[in-house]
Amino acid sequence: MATVMKRKGYGQVEPNHLSGIVTGQIYAQLPAATTKTVTDGVTTYGGIVQLEQGQFAKYDYAAGKVNFTGDGEFMLVYNEEKLYDERKQSHKDFVYKVEDFTDEQMYPRLIKTNIGDIFTTNTIAVANTSDTAPVGTVSLSVNDKLQPDAADGFLKKATGNDLTGMVWKVVKETTMPDGQPGVKIQRIQ
């Protein structure tokens, strides 16, 4: 049986077993690689303008930025959620957007993952631009393999048998706390 991953809102994470939290492998001192341009009074942003829970990014200490292209391995984006009205907001409403920060610098929290780590997520394949619009349609089954995409840090279905780098395996089809489809995944490489 396959789970069709079509989510409403931003990505969610349930940290079932993330060893980086216990070992203190949490990185949160570098800003996201974001650029700002003002032309004729209009501000536009480039680079990383948004980070969802469950996305992956690199802690590029040499460049002094969090990005998708630096050296090193991808780490899990798992920011402390700030929901100001729990009667109207849930996990799907939380995202880091550069425009929401007064100094236009996002300092995301990245968690180092290790082989054997497990978490539940619906952050697969694509970014969302709204907390109300549905996004993405990916069919996932137990034993499917996922890898972070080098362009945007979202987990995507991996193909082939000779996979290099970080690999996650779908170990259970499940739901997120708000009832949306989700998958429990385990890092196997």
Write the pLDDT tens digit of every residue in 113-143. 999 999 999 998 876 766 666 676 788 999 9
Other C-beta atoms closer than 10 Å to the C-beta of 44 total 10
- Residue 150 binned pLDDT confidence (cut-offs 50, 70, 90): very high
**Can you list the alpha helix ranges (DSSP code H) found in 68-154?**
none
Contact 27, 67 (CB under 8 A): no
Length of the chain: 189
Model confidence, pTM: 0.90
- Give the type of residue at 166: M
Average pLDDT over residues 21-38: 94
CA-CA distance, 48 to 14, in Å (whole number)?
Answer: 23
